[in-house]
Amino acid sequence: MPETTRRAERIAATRYGNRPTMKDVAARAGVGLKTVSRVVNGEPGVTPETERRVQEAIDALGFRRNDSARVLRKGRTASIGLVLEDLADPFYGPLSRAVEEVARANGALLINGSSAEDPDREQELVLALCARRVDGLVVIPAGDDHRYLEPELKAGVATVFVDRPAGRIDADVVLSDNFGGARDGVAHLIAHGHRRIGFIGDMPRIHTAAERLRGYRAAMEDAGIPVAEKWMSLGVTDPERVRRAAEEMLSGPDPVTAVFAGNNRVTVTVVRVLAEHARRVALVGFDDIELADLLQPGVTVVAQDAAALGRTAAERLFRQLDGTLVTPERIELPTRLITRGSGELPPAD
């Protein structure tokens, strides 16, 4: 059959939602429905010649398997949902990719959504995914009350929280050592002679921001350094707010000599502020940033392994689905300090 005729048949078969069915494939190939089903599902019992005819009919008609029917039979959709904070944040790229790779290895489709740090949007997305019968969820939570998920958990929806713990329910969570990483980063600045160290972080209600602030305070306390309130600033991470906070810390009679930036977005803005500043100020950031090693000086960071977070969470999710996990656990992955120059600058005064 000419290719133009095949293309016309495919277009006609799928126009206005009139999708070809297995009956159409069986009629074209001259076989029974059961034979088509075996070919479509990769089951044995079909001769090579018959399989070839069925496959030619599938290609000609543009037939696609209806997975909805399989869901009704098997009770599984072979799909999982991933709810992130912000799809545009570079931190979530490797995390999402790792979850997708694990899902693919387990024959599942990944559906992504972004909460934009809005608890209501998070709940809306999670419940929309549950309504579409996903088998499991990986959630970076925006809210602190996840009791709305209890009916879904009881119904068998596997769920793992990542980067931040769930609120008011008992569930698996995979975290980085935010407290320990921040403490190590600030201790590194102290070891290079700094005593006036500023901390600029995210909103205090966010678990990671609160833990990193706690790590900052612990390092200062361990060194016997009193912390002035003006050295700490938490809030939204938009550039204008972070710039204002950094400039305030760098001004006055006793400006900070070093800054600990609470996440990658804060670090980028602080780098820009310091580039405009006459006095050299040390900097350590939490999370690595692109091109950090090419700046002068390179940016010293406390790096967390976003890919390992995503992979660990997804593997745990599929172990739940396989029935090999019962008791929820809290898994904390280590961070590492990467020295590049900015965190090793001595105090300017």
pLDDT, residue 67, reads 62
Report whether pLDDT(79) > 90: yes
Report whether pLDDT(85) > 70: yes
Distance separating alpha carbons of residues 40 and 43, to the nearest angstrom: 8
pLDDT, residue 2, reads 52
Q: pLDDT of 60-76, one tens digit each?
A: 988 887 665 555 445 57
For helices 178-191 and 207-222, give the axis angle rounded to 10 degrees.
40
Distance separating alpha carbons of residues 349 and 346, to the nearest angstrom: 9
How is residue 345 annotated by DSSP?
A: P
Q: Sheet with 300-303: list strands edge to edge.
A: 232-234, 197-201, 258-261, 282-286, 300-303, 336-338
List of domains in the chain: 20-62 (1.10.260.40), 75-174+306-333 (3.40.50.2300), 176-303 (3.40.50.2300)
Provide the β-strand partners of residue 201: 234
Residue pair 208/202 in contact (Cβ under 8 Å)? The answer is yes
Q: Interior CA angle at 246 toward 266 and 238, to 5°?
A: 40
The residues, any chain, with a CB within 8 Å of residue 55's CB and separated by 6 or more, are: 39
Q: Interior CA angle at 262 toward 224 and 258, to 5°?
A: 50
Distance separating alpha carbons of residues 179 and 185, to the nearest angstrom: 10
Average pLDDT across the chain, whole number: 92
Enter the pTM of the model: 0.83
Distance separating alpha carbons of residues 65 and 340, to the nearest angstrom: 53
CA atoms within 13 A on the CB side of 292: 25
Q: pLDDT of 274-331, one tens digit each?
A: 999 999 999 999 999 999 999 999 999 999 999 999 999 999 999 999 998 879 999 9
62: left (phi over 0), alpha (psi -120 to 50) or beta: left
